[in-house]
Amino acid sequence: MVVAAGNTAAPGAAEALETLCRAYWKAVYAYIRHRGHDPEDALDLTQAFFARFLERKQVKLADPDRGRFRSFLISSLKHFIINEWRKGHAAKRGGDCCIVSLQEQREAETHFLIEPADPAAAPDLVYEKRWAHALLNHALERLSEEYASAGKQEHFNLLKTFVWGDAEGLSLARIGAKLGLNENATGAAVHRLKRRYGELLREEVGRTVAVKSDIDEELRHLLEVIRT
């Protein structure tokens, strides 16, 4: 996706670039908030950063041979914030650029407050955690859409906690009774859900690496970040 976004003359480049920006928007916002900026200032800076990123087509500078896109993006963000600090801007920074909807902007602050980072944690770790959660959430959203399309939204709603969440105290027999399944069939349904979630997560991670051989390494890093 990074390569596609960088080839601005190619069909689909604009869509790829917008998808990248949307995927990292909350992570960038969380990084800026953790550096001490208030919600309004963090929103302005986030919008402005992506506006500049899009305007200058900086994605062209991302080189897969020199590291992950997330590292390139955070480096670009640090330079941007330093420059903004020097300028001492008080005016609205984001301009007319709107990468995400107003609702998604509000959700970014809500998530920041619901999942507060350790005050002693480095902003870089906060950024990576939000990036990891974005990938996990997107894979889960895709899984929900698949089940909804198959007319099995209730199955997903009742079983998803076994994939991501606190499943302690949940009973396969009790959940199965709600779905009209016996315990063995419910266990098999959970297994299928987990397997498909793993496949979708690999796809999401695969979009952020240059070659497929990097997927496993990136998945390990993602899980390490989540556990930190």
Chosen domain end from 83, 116, 149: 116
Mean pLDDT within 98-113 = 60
- What pLDDT score was predicted for residue 93? 46
Same domain, 166 and 110: no
- The reported pLDDT for the residue numbered 148 is 95
Domain edge (last residue) among 66, 85, 116? 116
Q: Mark whether 91 and 148 lie in a shared domain.
A: no
Instruction: List the one residue out of 81, 208, 86 whose CA is nearest residue 138.
Output: 208
Q: Are 50 and 111 found together in one domain?
A: yes
Query: What's the pLDDT band for 63 if we cut at 50, 70, 90?
Result: low
Per the structure, the count of domains in the chain is: 2
Task: Mention every residue, 6+ apart, whose C-beta is less than 8 A from residue 71.
Answer: none
Which residues, including other chains, have CB under 8 Å from residue 226's CB and lie 6 or more apart? 129, 132, 133, 136
Tell whether 27 and 130 lie within a shared domain. Answer: no
Q: Record the tokens describing residue 173, joined without a space.
A: 């027999």
- Type of residue found at 150: A
* Cβ-Cβ contacts under 8 Å for 92 (sequence gap 6 or more): 44
Structural domain including 193 reads 117-228
Tokens of 183: 């315990």
Of residues 220 and 71, more confidently modeled: 220
CB atoms within 10 A of CB 34: 22
First to last CA, the chain: 27
Residue 139 sits in the same domain as residue 56: no
- Per-residue pLDDT at 94: 46
125 in the same domain as 95: no
Last residue of a domain, one of 116, 133, 164: 116
Residue 202, judged by CB atoms within 10 A of its CB (0-12, 13-18, 19+), counts as: middle
Rounded CA gap, 196 and 190, in Å?
10
- Report, in angstroms and rounded to the nearest whole number, the Rg of the chain calculated over CA atoms: 20
pLDDT at 90 over 50: no
28 and 39 inside one domain = yes
Q: Is the pLDDT of residue 212 over 70?
A: yes
Q: Does residue 133 sit in the same domain as residue 61?
A: no
Whether 45 and 93 have beta carbons less than 8 Å apart is answered as: yes
Residue 110 shares a structural domain with residue 206: no
pLDDT tens sequence across 10-59: 666 667 667 777 778 888 888 888 888 888 888 888 888 887 777 766 66
Q: Which has more pLDDT, 79 or 180? A: 180
